[in-house]
Amino acid sequence: MDTLLTAEIAANAPRYRRRSSTFIDGIHDVSDEPGNLAPAQLYSTMSGRLFHSGRIAIVMVGLPARGKTHICVSLARYLSWLGVKTRIFHLGDYRRATVEGGHVPQDYFYPNASPASVMLRQKILKKCREDIYAWLNHENGQVAIYDAVNPTASGRLALAKEFAKHDVQTLFIESYVDDQEILKENARNVKISSPDVSDDGSSDPLQAVDLFKFHGMDPDEAAKYYLKRIEEKIPVFETMEEEELNYIKMINAGRAFYYNNVSFNYLSHRIVFYLTNLHIKSRTTFFVRAGPAAEEDSYKADGPLSEDGREYAKKMTETLLRHREQERQAVIDGDGPDLPLRPLTVWTSTRLRTIETAEPLKELGFKVKQRSQMSQINPGLCEKLSERAIRALYADEVEKHELDPYHHRYPRAESYHDLAVRLEPIILELEREQSDLLIIAHESVLRVLYAYLMHCSTMDIPKLKFPRDEIIEIIPAAYQNEAKRIHIRGLDPKTIPGSPEDIRIPVPNDPNGQDSPIPNLSSLPEPAEPVAMGAPEKIVSKKRKGMVSDKVADED
Amino acid sequence: MAPKMNGIGIVPEDTHICVVMVGLPARGKSYIANKAQRYLKWLSIPAKTFNVGNYRRNDAPHPSADFFDTNNAEGERKRRAAANAAVSDMMKWFKSGGVVGILDATNSTKERRKWVVERIASEGVEVIFVESNCDDEELIMANIRDVKTTSPDYVGQDPEKAALDFRERIRNYEKVYKSINEDGDEDHLTYLKIMNVGRKVYINRIQDYLQSRVVYFLMNLHIRPRSVWLSRHGESMLNLDGRIGGDASLSHRGEEYAYKLPDLVRESVGSDRPLTVWTSTLKRTIATARHLPKEYNQLQWKALDELDAGVCDGMTYQEIADTYPEDFQARDKDKYNYRYRAGESYRDVVIRLEPIIMELERSEDILIISHQAVIRCIYAYFMQKTQEESPWVPVPLHTLMKLTPRAYGTELQSYRANIKAVSTWRGKGSTAKHEDPVPEGGV
């Protein structure tokens, strides 16, 4: 499923929205299920709006290659996690849908553009705004994030005024970058690392011909050239100084912030809080289970790894390091820059078996941090009870649990919701981390963290499975995250399935028989990737290039 | 759950942060410092304020303004020695488990800030400067009036003379005052600069999560004088039976309280200025608020709902003790952390109240009508009650509390409606339906 193709078709539909697919997270999806609470939502209201904050338009400001799209996707992920109904409106999608191939006239962004160009611009803007109002007024949305350049002060003032007329408060977020190093790196990451633009490059307003020139060009040269083209294309850009507007200026990718607050409340402070933890560097996250423990495990006991467990730790380490090396080689083979590997940091919980699983990596000199918030879900009184015993002892509880496995708590236990709320600091630290990150934790913790990054619904979270023979890699792409599975070969099959140490809370039977954390995999008619058992050594998602080149066209 | 876990799940792992206040006198520095300390402690993060003025007072108890003149070498030496003593104590405190130390002083020159960074960073402690910058004359004067009556420097002195002296002292500071990075050569520092009580905020080089959390909280503060009013709902039908939780209507006496509340509030506010009323989503708080004047804006917060007693909802304490004897004991042993089966603990309530506290900090003139456990948590926040104390604080029915945060602590005034009500307070181990609170420590 090609996201871009979907975008073009869908954008012409009455109500446009991006779609996720198998390996792509659901950040652009909207849940239609009534009463579906977000993972870390503390309460719900009749209106569906939280914190008494009313309806808010978050308007992005900044030239291309300033990480705007990354900021709004991340922010949407966090707000949705808190339960704030959030949608992103990328103006670029509308432009691509309106203008064939995305070719806009040369003067499209000029202040003195020709009447035809102005008309075109108006048409595209109008369609996007209509969708924003529909979202806020008729679909119970609380926050609309409007992803566009918004280069002039007069334009921004007019926009805030128009939103106010519709009883929508406006908060601007500008990504301002004057550090040349950051600019160059952004340009490199976004544009140059995807020389293969044939499936999308034609839609770039900078025109495909420019991008083909990048092929084989020195990365620094290409980045410089790209930035120069942005300036030519969008000659007027005024940084925000409008006293009367609410705005957050994020300077040099979060090194500093300036916050002009006229009338905003809790939610906007929360947004600043989140942004102070965000960076715009690209890095991947790996999830892996801890090895099996020596003695029969329990929540309270904290046993060391078994022989198998240590074997597992070694094999996992080898597979991971080989994979990272292969990925780097693939970039070089694809004429990409020969960059050193990003550093890798390892997080474990404070449980002995997670710490010991990280041991081989620690010996190799990787930094390992223990995080006590990542301790597994508390099983309460059900610990060590068989499923049959739980059904016999707590028949009522089982019934309730099956209705809402995410929010229900067994006696004295934590629910997944409790776990998600307790993991919030970890989520912010996750955003803050700049190195590649390997998380070794209990399956319950992996479920929740995976759900944050891949935007899973709360009904799916308790059912996600992380077999031991897979390392899950989450790769950030321009518009969303993608997941990839890396097979660990040569493991004793008895260590792989289920969670022998898992609390045996009877999760309702999954009708789809899922065996992967990737939601609804088997319900899709045609998976984008082969998912047969005995998966290949390495699944390379072909999506990745597509995703990045998708981003190439983001110019508004 | 790991025992080290606290209210929001932060375990600060080896992080030591020194929050260094910056700003002229009467800009609300001590107020901010104390607030930050209170908030962090409420979230179970060890925090402590080190007020340099207190150290200096050992040497110079009632100094006149010229003590603060930079040309006064003796004064300068004494102030430097006081700062040094405060920092030394803070470093000792970090070694005994402290996490966030707050250095409360003016730190108004670049030289002083450079000294602070060198002194503290060399011990592996992160430094974050927090500047309160304000040019609103009215606000400054209000602060001066407040300080001159509460500051230990002016105890027993003529208020008029004190105010004059204090303004003179500020002038001495103004001569040398430099806002952080005003000259552009302090860009390497981590700082938060709050202009005119949050109208504009600068944030520079936040290094870790805990710093971002502190910044987040401070952004929500304002230093305008204000009060918060707390009341429980009027007596409910379930209160009469000594049953907990539920969503009952008001008793006859509870209705009386609802009628009387507008007068009580007006008496306490002392004027006709309207308050904003926050209730829970339960019937008894909404009913209690319903006779308040029309111009009082009313909002219902789910987060203000009573602690969820789970399977025990609607039971009496005797019934709980009979049905779940182990639970009943476990709760008395550690009431703050005990979570009712399928319900909540006080700790859970604190977590869900966090947005409320944030919103409360940035608002003015709020009246909260809520429930016993919730009011206890909010009360504990303002009055700095420990986790052991807070779940046992008596919060009688039919009583309005007015809390006024001041630089050196929160002031409490209680207004009784003189309408009889049952007591819902319960002593440790007791299963009595209605029991009179032990006299000491009462609200």
In chain A, domain spans:
53-281, 285-375+433-501+509-523
Task: Please name the member of B10, B204, B362 whose beta carbon is closest to the beta carbon of A425.
Answer: B10
Vertex B42, ends B36 and B48: CA angle to 5°? Answer: 45
Q: What is the pLDDT of residues A389-400, one digit of tens each?
A: 888 888 888 888
CB B393 within 8 A of CB B364: no
- Return the residue of B nearest to A40 by Cα: B352
- Rounded to 10 degrees, the C-alpha dihedral A46/A48/A54/A58 comes to 180
Greatest distance between any 2 Cα atoms in chain A: 77
pLDDT value, residue A102: 64
Greatest distance between any 2 Cα atoms in chain B: 75
d(CA A144, CA B426): 48
Looking at residue B435, the DSSP 8-state letter turns out to be -
- Mean pLDDT taken over chain B: 87
Quick one: tokens of A214? 């990048």
d(CA A41, CA A418): 10
Residues of A involved in catalysis: 147
Is residue B205's pLDDT more than 60?
Answer: yes
Residue A411 to residue B200, Cβ atoms within 8 A: no
Contacts of A245 (CB under 8 A, 6+ apart): A156, A157, A160, A170, A172, A260, A262
Is residue B378's pLDDT more than 60?
Answer: yes
pLDDT value, residue A282: 80
pLDDT value, residue B412: 94
Low-confidence ranges of chain A (pLDDT < 70): 1-24, 30-37, 42-48, 52, 101-102, 189-217, 263-264, 295-301, 497-556
pLDDT (average), residues B109-124 = 92
pLDDT value, residue B438: 63
pLDDT (average), residues B312-333 = 93
Residue B88, annotated as binding a ligand = no
Vertex A540, ends A535 and A541: CA angle to 5°? Answer: 110
pLDDT (average), residues B147-170 = 78
- Closest approach of B195 to chain A, Cα-based (Å): 10
B228-416 maps to which CATH number? 3.40.50.1240
pLDDT value, residue A108: 84
- Closest approach of A270 to chain B, Cα-based (Å): 7
Phi-psi label, residue A45: left if phi above 0, alpha if psi -120 to 50, beta otherwise: beta
CATH architecture of A53-281: 3-Layer(aba) Sandwich (3.40)
pLDDT value, residue A140: 83
d(CA B404, CA A202): 64
pLDDT value, residue A216: 63
Looking at residue B439, the DSSP 8-state letter turns out to be S
- Which one, of A156, A158, A145, A177, lies nearest residue A65 by Cα? A177
Bridge partners of A483, per DSSP, are: A474
- Which one, of A13, A24, A53, A268, lies nearest residue A134 by Cα? A13
Q: Which CATH number fits domain A285-375+433-501+509-523: 3.40.50.1970, 3.40.50.1240, 3.10.580.10, 3.40.50.10710?
A: 3.40.50.1240
pLDDT (average), residues B312-327 = 93
Residues of B involved in catalysis: 233, 306
Contacts of A381 (CB under 8 A, 6+ apart): A410, A411, A412, A413
Q: What percent of chain B shows pLDDT beyond 90?
A: 52
Quote the strand ranges of B39-198, DSSP E: 47-51, 100-104, 126-133, 191-195
What ipTM, to 2 d.p.? 0.77
pLDDT value, residue B172: 85
Q: Which CATH number fits domain B17-219: 3.20.20.70, 3.40.630.40, 3.40.50.300, 3.40.1390.20?
A: 3.40.50.300
- Return the residue of B nearest to A41 by Cα: B352
Q: Could you count the other beta carbons within 10 Å of the beta carbon of residue B432?
A: 14
pLDDT value, residue A367: 92
Whats the size of chain B, residue-wise?
Answer: 443
pLDDT value, residue B5: 37
Chain B residues with at least one Cβ partner in A under 8 Å: 1-2, 4-5, 8-11, 13, 198-206, 208-209, 212-213, 215-216, 219-220, 299, 301-303, 339, 341-342, 351-352, 355, 358-359, 362
d(CA A431, CA A126): 34
More confident residue, B374 or A189: B374
Q: Could you count the other beta carbons within 10 Å of the beta carbon of residue A469?
A: 23
Confidence of residue B434 (pLDDT cuts 50, 70, 90): confident
pLDDT value, residue B65: 80
Give domain limits for chain B.
17-219, 228-416
More confident residue, B371 or B69: B371
Is residue B255's pLDDT more than 80?
Answer: yes
pLDDT value, residue B118: 93
Confidence of residue B287 (pLDDT cuts 50, 70, 90): very high
Whats the size of chain A, residue-wise?
Answer: 556
pLDDT value, residue A386: 77
pLDDT value, residue A287: 97
Strand, coil or helix: B24: coil
